[in-house]
Amino acid sequence: MATLSLFAFAGLGPAQAADVPFLTGRVVDNAEILKPATREKITAELKAHEQASGDQIAVLTVPTIGDDSIEEYAVKVFENWKLGQKGKDNGVLVVVAPKDRKMRIEVGYGLEGTLTDAMASRIIRNVMTPSFKAGDFDRGIAAGVEAIVAQLEGKPGVAAEEASPASGSSGLHINAPDLPWPERILLGAFIFGIIGLFTFVGVMTPGVGWFLYVFLIPFWAMFPIIIVGTRGALTLLGIYVVGYPLAKLMLSHTAWYEKAAASLKSKGSASVGG
């Protein structure tokens, strides 16, 4: 069973674990956040998909998951309900805990290749979360289920193209890739370690430091997008463009920097740090 992406708005859970509810249908709305018409619509869609593909998808809403993590609770329910056909592990569970402000998509191994970690994360972030923040659980869950079914049926692009109804944004915007956090941290350490080192050398070195300032601008503009997306990259670029000259200006009044600058003029070279 795959451990998939989690979106936690905020909030603290109570001090005891929640029980696994009985599987009474394809939609178990114990939190009572869905209208009857929405439950019927989702149930019909999931039934039609199961009849066509054999995939078993269930939706569970609970007021709270207690002191369980959302991962632990989703796995516990998934295993207890035995979603998916025997030998195929082709089940999907959508869990929403409104009081905890948490949700999760749990996917069986048999569907990991189609409903990937990245796609599950995108469905949560782009399709479900905007509606939830607007207080529209019916729209959020129904759209999330629709995106899951579309992905499993080979209709890509639904989650990626779904726009936030409250965002009002337009134009080019690139989200950071949906990497697992361990991979994102390692990749970020590698990227920022390299350009950060050159930035440090540029700030600390007279003369060539200004060449590095201009040289590194494209790197600060592009590579951070991989880790933090367009907005994060633009923020970092702004900090770099403003912060680099300010740092050099402040350092230029220190004794060791003045000594290095004088050495550069007289010998054509300079040492970093004194």
- Type of residue at 37: A
What percent of the chain shows pLDDT beyond 70?
A: 80
Alpha carbon distance 270, 141 (integer Å) = 62
Rg of the chain over Cα atoms, rounded to whole angstroms, equals 25
What's the pLDDT band for 233 if we cut at 50, 70, 90? confident
Q: Residue 139: what residue type?
A: R
Residues 66-90 pLDDT 10s: 888 899 999 999 999 999 998 999 9
Confidence of residue 265 (pLDDT cuts 50, 70, 90): low
Contact 92, 148 (CB under 8 A): yes
Mean pLDDT for all residues in the chain:
82
26-58 pLDDT, tens digit per residue, is 999 999 999 999 999 999 999 999 999 999 999
Q: What is the pLDDT of residues 110-161, one digit of tens each?
A: 998 889 888 898 999 999 999 999 999 999 999 999 999 999 998 865 554 4
Q: What CA–CA distance (Å, rounded) separates 137 from 24? A: 20
What pLDDT was estimated at residue 230? 77
Q: How far is CA 10 from the centre of its chain?
A: 15
State the residue for tokens 């950071």: 176
Q: Is the pTM of this model over 0.95?
A: no
Check residue 264 and give its pLDDT: 64
Q: Which domains does the chain have, with CATH numbers?
A: 6-161 (3.10.310.50), 181-267 (no CATH)
For the stretch 153-204, pLDDT in tens is: 988 655 544 444 433 333 334 444 555 667 778 888 998 999 999 999 888 8
Helix (H, G, I), strand (E, B) or coil at 205: coil
120, 30 in Cβ contact below 8 A? Answer: no
